[in-house]
Amino acid sequence: MRRVVITGLGPVSPIGVGAEAFHKAQLEGRSGIRRITRFDASALPVQIAGEVDVEVEAYLDKRELRRLDRFVQLALVAAELALKDAGLEVDRLDPTRVGTLVGSGIGGMETWEAQSRVFLEKGPNRISPFFIPMMIANMASAQIAMRYGFMGPSSTVVTACATGSDALGSALRMIQLGEADVVFAGGTEAAVTPMAIGAFGVMRALSTRNEEPQKASRPFTKSRDGFVLSEGAGVLVLEEYEHARRRGARIYAEVVGFGRSADAHHITEPHPEGKGAALAMRAALKDAGVPPEKVGYINAHGTSTPVGDRAEVLAIKQVFGEHAKRLAVSSTKSMTGHLLGAAGAVEAIATAQALYFGILPPTINLEDPDPELDLDFVPEPREARLEYALSNSFAFGGQNAVLAFRKVE
The residues annotated with a catalytic role in the active site are 161
Contact 240, 94 (CB under 8 A): no
CA angle in degrees (0–180, nearest 5) for 252-158-66: 90
Distance of alpha carbon 130 from alpha carbon 261, whole angstroms? 36
Distance of alpha carbon 240 from alpha carbon 408, whole angstroms? 14
CA atoms within 13 A on the CB side of 190: 26
State the CB neighbour count (10 A cutoff) for residue 165: 34
CA distances from 344 to 58, 110, 303, 330 (A): 26, 22, 12, 14
Q: Residue 55 phi/psi, 5° resolution? A: -90, 90
Q: Name every residue whose Cβ is closer than 8 Å to that of residue 218 and which is 6 or more positions away in sequence.
A: 207, 224, 304, 334, 365, 366, 367
Q: Residue 262 phi/psi, 5° resolution? A: -125, 140
Helix ranges restricted to H, 107-162: 109-122, 131-135, 139-148
Distance of alpha carbon 79 from alpha carbon 323, whole angstroms? 37
Q: Name every residue whose Cβ is closer than 8 Å to that of residue 199 and which is 6 or more positions away in sequence.
A: none
With H, G, I as helix, E, B as strand and everything else as coil, classify residue 275: helix
CA angle in degrees (0–180, nearest 5) for 177-349-170: 25
Strand partners, 382: 360
Distance of alpha carbon 198 from alpha carbon 278, whole angstroms? 32
Distance of alpha carbon 45 from alpha carbon 198, whole angstroms? 8
Using left for φ > 0, alpha for ψ between -120 and 50, and beta otherwise, residue 299 falls in beta
CA atoms within 13 A on the CB side of 211: 0
State the CB neighbour count (10 A cutoff) for residue 251: 17
